[in-house]
Amino acid sequence: MYKLDSFMADLERRNPAEPEFIQAVREVIESIIDVVNDNPAYIHTKILERITEPDRIFSFKVEWEDDNGEIQINRGYRVQFNNALGPYKGGLRFHSSVSLGTLKFLGFEQTFKNSLTTLPMGGAKGGSDFNPKGKSENEILRFCRSYMTELQKYIGPQTDVPAGDMGVGTREIGYLYGQYKRINSENTGVITGKGRGWGGSLVRPEATGFGAMYFADEMVKANNDTLEGKRIAISGFGNVAWGAVMKASALGAKVVTISGPDGYVLDESGINTPEKWDYMLQLRASNNDVVKPFADRFKVQFVPKKKPWEVPVDMVFPCAIQNELNLEDAKTLLANGVKYVIETSNMGCTADSTIFFLEHKIPFGPGKAANAGGVAVSGLEMTQNAMMINWTAEEVDVKLHSIMKNIHDSCVTEGTGKDGYVNYVKGANIAGFKKVANAMLEQGY
Ligand code: 2IT
Residue 114 CA, closest ligand 1 atom number: 3
What number is the average pLDDT over the span 86-100? Answer: 98
Cα of 130 vs centre of ligand 1, distance in Å, is 18
Do both 162 and 54 map to the same domain? yes
What number is the average pLDDT over the span 350-363? Answer: 98
Do both 250 and 165 map to the same domain? no
Q: pLDDT value at position 6? A: 98
Do both 181 and 255 map to the same domain? no
**Taking the CB of residue 282, how many other CB atoms lie within 10 A of it?**
11
Q: pLDDT value at position 122? A: 98
- Residue ID of nearest Cα to ligand 1 atom 3: 375
Split at pLDDT 50, 70, 90, the class of 319 is very high
Q: pLDDT value at position 442? A: 98
Split at pLDDT 50, 70, 90, the class of 5 is very high
Residue where one domain finishes, among candidates 323, 343, 370 = 370
Q: How many domains does the chain have?
A: 2
Do both 83 and 219 map to the same domain? no
Distance CA 296, CA 390 (A): 40
Residue 397 within a domain? no
Split at pLDDT 50, 70, 90, the class of 129 is very high
To test the pocket of ligand 1, the residue of 94, 108, 110 to mutate (highest count of ligand atoms within 8 Å of its CB) is 110
Instruction: Name residues contacting ligand 1 (CB within 6 A).
Output: 89-91, 110, 113, 163, 165, 192, 346, 374-375, 378
Q: What is the tens place of the pLDDT at every residue in 343-356?
A: 999 999 999 999 99
Residue 402 within a domain? no
- Residue ID of nearest Cα to ligand 1 atom 4: 91
Residue 127 within a domain? yes
Residue 178 within a domain? yes
Do both 74 and 136 map to the same domain? yes
Domain CATH number, residue 91: 3.40.50.10860
Q: What is the tens place of the pLDDT at every residue in 257-313?
A: 999 999 999 999 999 999 999 999 999 999 899 999 999 999 999 999 999 999 999
Domain that holds residue 176: 4-188
Please give the share of the chain, as a percent, with pLDDT higher than 90.
100
Do both 174 and 292 map to the same domain? no
DSSP string, 92-131: EEE-TT--HHHHHHHHHHHHHHHHHHTSS--EEEEEES--
Cα of 2 vs centre of ligand 1, distance in Å, is 31
Beta carbons of 31 and 430 less than 8 angstroms apart: yes
Mean pLDDT of the chain: 98
Cα of 320 vs centre of ligand 1, distance in Å, is 14
Beta carbons of 375 and 385 less than 8 angstroms apart: no
- Residue ID of nearest Cα to ligand 1 atom 10: 375
What number is the average pLDDT over the span 237-243? Answer: 97
Do both 182 and 62 map to the same domain? yes
Residue where one domain finishes, among candidates 370, 404, 420 = 370
Domain CATH number, residue 249: 3.40.50.720
Q: pLDDT value at position 36? A: 98
Residue 193 CA, closest ligand 1 atom number: 10
Give residue 129's Cα distance to chain centre. Answer: 18
Residue 418 within a domain? no
What number is the average pLDDT over the span 189-210? Answer: 98
Do both 179 and 225 map to the same domain? no
Residue 399 within a domain? no
Which is catalytic among the residues 89, 104, 113, 125? Answer: 125
Split at pLDDT 50, 70, 90, the class of 208 is very high
- Tally the residues of the chain: 445
Cβ-proximal residues to 347 (8 Å cutoff; 6+ apart), any chain: 20, 23, 24, 27, 105, 109, 322, 323, 367
Do both 24 and 170 map to the same domain? yes
> DSSP 3-state assignment of 423?
coil
Do both 74 and 162 map to the same domain? yes
To test the pocket of ligand 1, the residue of 114, 375, 384 to mutate (highest count of ligand atoms within 8 Å of its CB) is 375
- To the query of whether residue 125 is one of the catalytic residues in this protein, the response is yes
Beta carbons of 365 and 216 less than 8 angstroms apart: yes
Residue where one domain finishes, among candidates 370, 391, 418 = 370
Q: pLDDT value at position 337? A: 98
Q: Which residues pair with 88 in a beta bridge?
A: 160
Residue 10 within a domain? yes
What is the SS3 assignment for 172-220? HHHHHHHHHHHHHCCCCCCCCCCCHHHCCCCCHHHHHHHHHHHHHHHHH
Q: What is the tens place of the pLDDT at every residue in 36-83?
A: 999 999 999 999 999 999 999 999 999 999 999 999 999 999 999 999
Residue 375 CA, closest ligand 1 atom number: 10
Cα of 434 vs centre of ligand 1, distance in Å, is 21
Q: pLDDT value at position 20? A: 98
Q: What is the tens place of the pLDDT at every residue in 426-445?
A: 999 999 999 999 999 999 99
What number is the average pLDDT over the span 207-225? Answer: 98
Do both 138 and 286 map to the same domain? no
Cα of 375 vs centre of ligand 1, distance in Å, is 5
Do both 236 and 337 map to the same domain? yes
Residue 383 within a domain? no
